[in-house]
Structure 1
Amino acid sequence: MNKAEILQYLADKHIDFTKYEHAPIFSVEEGDKSDLPNHDKVIRNLFLCDAKKKNYYLISLFVHKQINLKELSVKIPSKRLSFAKQDAMEEMLGVKPGSVTPLAILNNTDKNILMIFDKELENQTIGMHPMENTATIFMKFADLYNLLLPHGNEIRIIDL
């Protein structure tokens, strides 16, 4: 799914969201400088793989929360984590760098990516890109979780 398709999908599923169009945002710093409301509730997303590149993980947490990959690898558990290559991201999630979003799990037809949400996101309204970094949508975490769950990827909520 692309941006237009995911927005239509959310509407078709009666998911309540608010959308803000903006210039492309490629980094946390650019997001902080934007006039996007509630930018502290926007999430960042890390597409990671293990040292043997056989397991893939999509991690979502609030934009300003720090994460230690060594500690995360113990919690998952997994061997040494690193950022996945761009071609794997585009093939498995259907998005470009700067546009990674938990919604992209819906493009993972092989269902071979473990989706990990930070526990802090629960009971929050969170912001994310809708497959492109030219817009941000805000929706309830519970709605996102319930939207992704039937797709079939394993989803974990852990304290990061």
Structure 2
Amino acid sequence: MPETPQGLLARLDALGIEHRTVTHAPVFTVEESKALRPDLPGGHSKNLFLKPQKAPGPFLLAVLEEDRRVSVNALARALGVPRVTFGSAGELVATLGVEPGSVTPFGLVNAAPGSVRAVFDRHLVQDFEWVNFHPLTNAMTTAIRPKDLLRFLRGLGHEPELVDPPAGPALP
């Protein structure tokens, strides 16, 4: 069974990781989530669940600053993956334990180490005191300090990579 939002938050508590969680109506896009900004200060993201198109390899979870414009395939090439496609809803549920619209780095709590390559926009984790992500459901948002998020993910067996995504016009 995948981890629940309550179980995830309890894990953070058990590790002494400071976090703040707000419950809200479900949001499915960055644009919808921008209406919540007055209650959620800090950095916000768009999260892309990708898979290599032809070569075998781990899925990619690209965690980008919400306003970053990037070509998905340019990002993949910069990461040494020739081409990628978006993972299917079934692959997303099976790998991260979340539904479409709830993609989050917290989903790595459900992923086997090595099954997902977690790639973070350097700007997002270095320039904000707090970053905000869905805690496995798009009806909640959890603020966490970037260093604590990275420490949590490392404790799960995932080694986050910090990257400078190539600029591009393709994905708003």
Structure 1 and Structure 2 fold alike (TM over 0.5): yes
One-letter amino acid matched to 1:12 = A
Deviation at 1:76, TM superposition (A): 0.7
Deviation at 1:145, TM superposition (A): 0.2
Find the counterpart in structure 1 of residue 66 from structure 2. 63
User: Among residues 31, 47, 50, which one is paired with 1:48 in the alignment?
Assistant: 50
Find the counterpart in structure 2 of residue 147 from structure 1. 152
Alpha-carbon distance in 2 for matches of 1:71, 1:52: 16
Is the CA contact 2:113–2:157 (under 8 Å) kept in the aligned structure 1?
no
Find the counterpart in structure 2 of residue 86 from structure 1. 89
Aligned residues, how many?
160
Alpha-carbon distance in 2 for matches of 1:119, 1:35: 21
Distance change (3 Å), C-alpha of 1:53 and 1:101:
farther
**Matched residue SS, 2:51:** strand
TM-score of the pair, normalised by structure 2: 0.86
User: Among residues 133, 136, 151, which one is paired with 2:138 in the alignment?
Assistant: 133
One-letter amino acid matched to 2:157 = G
Instruction: Give unmatched runs, 5+ long, in structure 1.
Output: none
Find the counterpart in structure 1 of residue 168 from structure 2. none
User: Among residues 104, 119, 128, which one is paired with 2:122 in the alignment?
Assistant: 119
Identical positions, percent:
27
Alpha-carbon distance in 2 for matches of 1:21, 1:14: 21
Give the CA RMSD over aligned residues: 1.6
Deviation at 1:62, TM superposition (A): 1.5
Is the CA contact 1:40–1:63 (under 8 Å) kept in the aligned structure 2?
no
Distance change (3 Å), C-alpha of 1:70 and 1:109:
closer
TM-score of the pair, normalised by structure 1: 0.92
Is the CA contact 1:27–1:98 (under 8 Å) kept in the aligned structure 2?
yes
Deviates more, 1:130-139 or 1:51-60: 51-60
Instruction: Give unmatched runs, 5+ long, in structure 2.
Output: 166-172
Distance change (3 Å), C-alpha of 1:40 and 1:155:
closer
**Cα deviation 1:31-50 (Å, max 9, x = unaligned):** 12335534662212100011
